[in-house]
Amino acid sequence: MPEEPAASAPPVRADAVIPAAFVVLWSSAFIAAVIGTDAAPPLLLTFSRFAVAGVLLALIAVVSKSPWPRGRLLLHAIVTGLLMQAVQFGAFYMAIGEGLPGGVVALIQGFNPVLIALLAGMFLGERITGRQWCGFVVGGAGVGLAVVGALDFSATAIVLSFVGLLGLSAGTVYQKRFAQDVDVRSGTAVHFLAGAPVMGVMTLAFEDPEVSDWGAFCGSLAWIVLVNSVGTFLLLNFMLKKRAASRVGALFFLTPAVTALLAWLVIGQALGCSAIVGLLLGGAGVLLVTRK
């Protein structure tokens, strides 16, 4: 009898790989932001990120012949970009520039799923089950444990972080409600290009836009643009087109613990027991929220 062919390993599904890649890449942004804001003012770093990433994504959109939003859809894409980009990262980078550790900013951003769930329930009609709310509680506990023990509180920086959180959550829900049909490549380019002039005016008005360490600035900017601005937001917008907003938002529960892990690997910050427990709780929370 002919031998039966060996069973091949099942292919890795993009649904599993993309969320994991998104969490790791998104978390790395906080490490790059700490390095970048040590070398230049935060709003200057934000403006540079938006300008370079916007032009790069616009070129990608043109080469790939992506359809550009027009009329009212263009307006919705601009509003989404101002919320999700200008408000979020302008506030987050200013908070980091004020001395708030990147892990603490990730902690505050980790409450994004709860805020998204509330907004999605009110404006998108998404139903949040009891199991998902349990996941929010477990994930929130993981968020708290992930970075506990080394907090350097600054009232202004904490307020700025919550402003950034509001921009991210509102932008996510707004995009899901009004800009769902915008192409990922051209839409993300519009987001950055809409936010760049705002950040440019703000850095000229409120900062002395000088770079103290060009090597660190260019290195962090390159990582933030290529990996965080282009890679993660293409992944985020792709997931928003395929998943419920609350399920996408639940991934942010993992970012504080993953940020703590990356900080240990990249800049030598010790990873304590609380961070490890937080990582496990955050993963359990995401599983509860996103499991079908």
pLDDT in tens, 174-199: 988 888 888 888 998 999 999 999 99
Cα–Cα distance for residue pair 225/231, rounded to 1 Å:
8
Q: What is the pLDDT of residue 144?
A: 74
Q: What is the pLDDT of residue 290?
A: 63
Closest among 163, 141, 182 to 57, alpha carbons compared: 182
Q: What percent of the chain has pLDDT over 70?
A: 86
Q: What is the pLDDT of residue 152?
A: 55
Q: What is the pLDDT of residue 257?
A: 76
Is residue 234 one of the residues assigned to a domain? Answer: yes
Is residue 36 one of the residues assigned to a domain? Answer: yes
Is residue 67 one of the residues assigned to a domain? Answer: yes
Q: What is the pLDDT of residue 21?
A: 85
Mean pLDDT calculated for residue range 143-163: 73
Is residue 282 one of the residues assigned to a domain? Answer: yes
Sign of CA dihedral 122, 123, 129, 130: negative
pLDDT tops 80 at residue 274: no
Between the CA of residue 273 and those of 146, 147, 148, 268, what are the distances in Å?
Answer: 9, 10, 10, 16
Q: What is the pLDDT of residue 95?
A: 92
Instruction: Name the pLDDT band for 261 (thresholds 50, 70, 90).
Output: confident
> How is residue 86 written in tokens?
């200008």
Is residue 4 one of the residues assigned to a domain? Answer: no
Single-letter residue type at 217: F
Q: What is the pLDDT of residue 109?
A: 80
Q: In the block, which residue shows the tokens 């601005």?
A: 229
Q: What is the pLDDT of residue 291?
A: 64
Is residue 6 one of the residues assigned to a domain? Answer: no
Is residue 72 one of the residues assigned to a domain? Answer: yes
Q: Name the residue range of residue 228's domain.
A: 16-290
Q: Which of 111-125, 144-158, 170-184, 237-251 has the lowest mean pLDDT?
A: 144-158
> How is residue 103 written in tokens?
């892990």
Mean pLDDT calculated for residue range 237-254: 73
Instruction: Name the pLDDT band for 270 (thresholds 50, 70, 90).
Output: low
Q: Are 136 and 285 in contact (CB under 8 A)?
A: yes
pLDDT tops 70 at residue 6: no
Closest among 129, 105, 106 to 117, alpha carbons compared: 129
Q: What is the pLDDT of residue 16?
A: 66
pLDDT tops 80 at residue 78: yes
Number of domains in the chain: 1
pLDDT tops 70 at residue 248: yes
Is residue 10 one of the residues assigned to a domain? Answer: no
Mean pLDDT calculated for residue range 158-165: 90
Q: Render pLDDT for 191-227 as a digit per residue (tens, 0 to 9).
A: 999 999 999 999 999 999 999 999 999 999 999 999 8
Cα–Cα distance for residue pair 199/194, rounded to 1 Å:
9
Q: Which is more confidently placed, 159 or 287?
A: 159
Q: Which is more confidently placed, 101 or 204?
A: 204
pLDDT tops 70 at residue 14: no
